[in-house]
Amino acid sequence: MSEQFTRLNARFPHKRVFITGASSGLGLELAKQLASDGWTLGLFDRDLERLTRVEAQFAEAGVQLVAYPGDVTQADELTVAVNSFAATHDGLDVMINNAGVAGGGSMMEVSLEDWRWIIDINVMGVVHGSRAAIPHLQRNGSGLLINIASAAAFASAPGMISYNATKAAVVSISETLVNELQPVGTQVSVVMPAFFRSSLLETLRGPEHARVLANRATQRSELSVEQAARALLTESADGQTYIVLPKSARMMWRMKRWMPLRFLDRVRDFARRQPAG
């Protein structure tokens, strides 16, 4: 047993996890770390080529897993996959709603089509995953639901309006579920990482200047995808509801809650100082 996940393994000795958006980025790294500790994986992703490659690599390494190609915007596809995994393995311990996409641009730059696209994936994907998993998580009076949001949910930086809004919705959904699921023994954690090096920007829709700024922030980040995965698994196992990464972002989180108008002033001033192009 890895010392890193001692608490998680003690809480869930059957080690059954289902992860959406699992073929790349944070989802794949979560799968790797849990697989290395003997967890049985249910992996869900719409990129069939990547998912097939990941499945083959894990199977070759002797990892117990089932891969499910599908789209989180389609409730039936995700529900069938979660139900199948739980039925095959006599239950589900941890559900990680990780699938998400990036969006950039101001209110007048983001098309209505792109608004619908990002809401369907980032918000409704979490709704669909939660509705599919909750009956299984609460079956034995325990369970852990982890929703991946972003520090964008509280930073509200200009030029990221659609992404900010969807991640704020994930935080609100998670907070509501904390109270709804506490009576049945299911824990809910919401993760709010700052920029880190991952494959998220492959999905970004928006003007070129938004992509340039997002790439710059990602390259400057001191948080790696390995560190993000390890921290969120450890902190959720410790019962944390709000997981803000890295530590330097936690002061931003506190300032937003304690002095919201001053915080928004600082974000605006920071955005103005960013070089163009």
Helix (H) or strand (E) segment spanning residue 255:
helix 247-258
Provide the strand spans (E) within the chain. 16-20, 40-45, 65-69, 94-97, 144-148, 187-193, 242-245
Active-site residue (options: 5, 18, 163, 242): 163
Q: Are 12 and 144 in contact (CB under 8 A)?
A: yes
Going from the C-alpha of 231 to that of each of 63, 81, 92, 248, the distances in angstroms are 22, 27, 22, 14
d(CA 121, CA 238): 28
Q: Which residues of 223-248 are buried (b: 16+ CB within 10 A; e: fewer)?
A: bebebbbbbbbbbbbeebebbbbbee
Residue 242 annotated among the catalytic residues of the structure: no
> Residue 123 contacts by C-beta under 8 Å, 6 or more apart in sequence?
166, 169, 170, 173
> Residue 86 contacts by C-beta under 8 Å, 6 or more apart in sequence?
16, 92, 136
> Residue 34 contacts by C-beta under 8 Å, 6 or more apart in sequence?
5, 15, 17, 41, 233
d(CA 201, CA 156): 18
- CA-nearest of 89, 118, 122 to 20 is 122
d(CA 40, CA 98): 17
Catalytic positions: 163
